[in-house]
Structure 1
Amino acid sequence: MSSESPSPRVQLTDDEWRQKLTPEEFAVLRRAGTEPPFTGEYTDTKTEGIYQCRACGAELFRSSEKFESHCGWPSFFDPARSDAVILRPDHSMGMTRTEVLCASCHSHLGHVFAGEGYPTPTDLRYCINSISLRLVPTRS
């Protein structure tokens, strides 16, 4: 996971993003919004596959790293690749958190939290908005 912010590989203007995304997707992906808890399409799914960035299609997470945290959003303990996401400090909402961005287009995905005691290999919880993702099921 990179904490540096090189220029995104996919660069569009706000108008181009608005044409590509629904208003709800734009609000989360491009304006760092959050979907309401327990409403996202992938919160409870157990479908095996690859989770891509809904904005640019980059591979971000895999179902093998998804776990049930009961927090209201899909949770993953690791990204698909170490360079798939960018982490940066987020001082909004009167607290300090770590924001998770797509490394390819710098769209907002959610936040990552450490040390919460979940029984995962990394002790991390990538709390990701469903609306930021698109699941591509793997064929059996």
Structure 2
Amino acid sequence: MLTAAVADGMIVGMDARPLTQRERAVLEALLAVEFQGVETLRRQTGEVVVVGTCGCGCPSIDFQHGHGLGMAIRVNAGVRGSHDGLFLYTIEDRQRGEGLGGIEWVGVEDTDPDELPSPELLDIRAA
């Protein structure tokens, strides 16, 4: 098992695990919008796994370790009825090109949820 120092806001490494049903549903909803390169990212969803979570307890998840050559926010989503939101980011890698990086939770409410919100509650748009 991977080990990492845990502090609020830090990513915690872990053994790779499959996405939960909710995580997969949110990922598919985020990739339902059209933008350049989305088809490549959609093809990656069948093999994506979670390799890290946020140490603060929010529902942020990482699909890859490290940051490669750069990170790009590809999709933003607001949560209806709150000021919270999330975004899907990609990581550029020299050998593999652009790949799914993770889903980052952006919470401004007093407490963070244990899991990502239902896709029906998201207002989704390409970044």
TM-score of the aligned structures, taking structure 1 as reference length: 0.27
TM-score of the aligned structures, taking structure 2 as reference length: 0.29
